[in-house]
Amino acid sequence: MSLVARHLEASGVVTVVIGSARDIVEEVGVARFVFVDFPLGNPTGAPGDTAMQREIVELALGVATSAIAPRTTVQAPHRWGDDGWRDAFMSIGDRDALRAAGERRRAHQAAAR
């Protein structure tokens, strides 16, 4: 996605990348980047959390219109519940750990509402 964004920018199309792999996206050097500290595959938030998704997309649209320097990175203020997802991140086959991390995230989100 980052390379596509660079190609589009070179053609005059404004882009904003929303993602979690900060080191990779910044290394590629996209023009505008909204970093979300979420598990990979969830760039705009948890499935079903439309309020969070809307806020992150609105942040990205704001970055598209306000960024004045190349390679601008803005960190979204949102959190993925507790940091329990990190315990199961990149784990292969440990379904109990993945399930527990998901349950902790859902409980944290329910408590925050």
Which of residues 10 and 102 earns the better pLDDT score? 10
What pLDDT is stored for residue 28 in this prediction? 85
Task: Supply φ then ψ for residue 74, to 5 degrees.
Answer: -120, 130
Strand 32-35 to strand 72-75: parallel, antiparallel, or no bridges (unpaired)?
A: parallel
Nearest-angstrom CA–CA distance, 26 and 3? 11
* pTM of the entire predicted model: 0.73
Share of the chain above pLDDT 70, in %: 88
pLDDT tens digit sequence for 70-97: 899 999 999 887 777 777 666 666 667 6
> What mean pLDDT is predicted for residues 103-109?
75
Nearest-angstrom CA–CA distance, 78 and 82? 11
